[in-house]
Homo-oligomer: A and B are copies of this chain.
Amino acid sequence: MVKSRNENGGELEFLERLRKRVFPSLPRGIALGIGDDCAIFRARGGSEDLLIATDMLIEDTHFLRATHRPEDVGWKALARTLSDLAAMGAEPRFCLLSLALPSWAGRPWVDGFYRGFLRLARRAGAPLIGGDLARAEILMCDVVASGAAPRGQALRRDGARAGDAIYVSGALGGSALGLATGRGAAWRRHLRPEPRLALGRFLRRLGATAAMDLSDGLSLDLRRLCLASKLAAEISPPPVFPGATLEQALHGGEDYELLFTAPPGARVPPRFEDLPITPIGKMRQGRPGAVSLSGAKLPPRGWDHLRSDPLSEPLSDPLSEPRT
């Protein structure tokens, strides 16, 4: 697996520069651009906003042919993107799949991949309506998912306020534990994450102020939420997946649980369906992006997709040319 840990947010920095350059102001019809889990498109006269997200799943980066069954790869490819819709409280409407197949991926593999993908698509109510197919030296797929939320009501990262309580769903670190051990409930958790779609919609109606999904690890993702909301955060240790370490719960990625904030008076239940909801801290004024755990600074050490081993040179400014 190509992964990395970094302290200063290569991907964050990259995205922020890109956002500033591409969007001095948001174009007509775009309610939210680069920098959140989904972009938001507002059609003329529509009562709903259309949310759209895209996520890649790549051989040797996100999965290994030797250990990941095709059904699991198909499921996970879609689950990652649906999790972005869940984070913003959207109801899925459709998905598209671009799939590049290497020569080793013959018909049984492709069959299995589609079985896993379509099973989740049906369950989530996100029909596959298009995509692209190609050949490549390694297997790679990119999944687009789109969903709807009432106009202006999608949950965003930038809505948290000082004093809001911070919550997570479920227990963290399971995917990292599974990746390390390759067995048991943790491995199944790594292979078949559950996008928290119903929870996300519940939180939107409940009045959560900000939300995102935990794809890259709590320490890095909470920092992102703090940066978007221009606040700091204080947390205590989060719930840990059985058998995982606190380190895995704090910095392991791919749990796909929801991280959210709600005002002190909000009636956040201790469970949603079978899923525990745990308060882990609160948002406060302070240096934007600063997160402390039990009073000590918590460095962001989750996965950063732009600081991985093969790259010696950071991608800090992809857009240096003046606009034309």
Contacts and interface: CB of A to CB of B under 8 A. Distances in A.
A240 interface: no
Across the A-B interface, the 5 shortest Cβ-Cβ residue pairs: A103-B310, A142-B142, A39-B130, A39-B129, A27-B127
Contact of A33 (B41, B50, B129): B129
Interface stretch (A105-113, A189-197, A202-210, A280-288): A105-113
A316 B30 CA distance: 40
9 contacts: A2-B135, A2-B136, A39-B94, A56-B100, A59-B136, A101-B311, A107-B316, A134-B305, A135-B305
Interface stretch (A114-122, A173-181, A224-232): A114-122
A321 to B, nearest CB: 5
A130 B33 contact: yes
A292 B195 CA distance: 50
Contacts of A50: 41, 43, 50
Interface of A: 2, 11, 14-15, 18, 22-23, 27, 29-30, 32-34, 38-39, 41, 43-48, 50, 52-56, 58-62, 93-94, 96, 98, 100-103, 106-107, 110-111, 113-115, 118-119, 122, 127-138, 140, 142, 144, 146, 148, 305-306, 308, 310-321, 323-324
A130 B98 contact: no
Given A33-B129, A93-B41, A317-B111, A135 B101 contact: no
Contacts of A137: 60, 137-138
Contact of A14 (B58, B115, B118, B133): B133
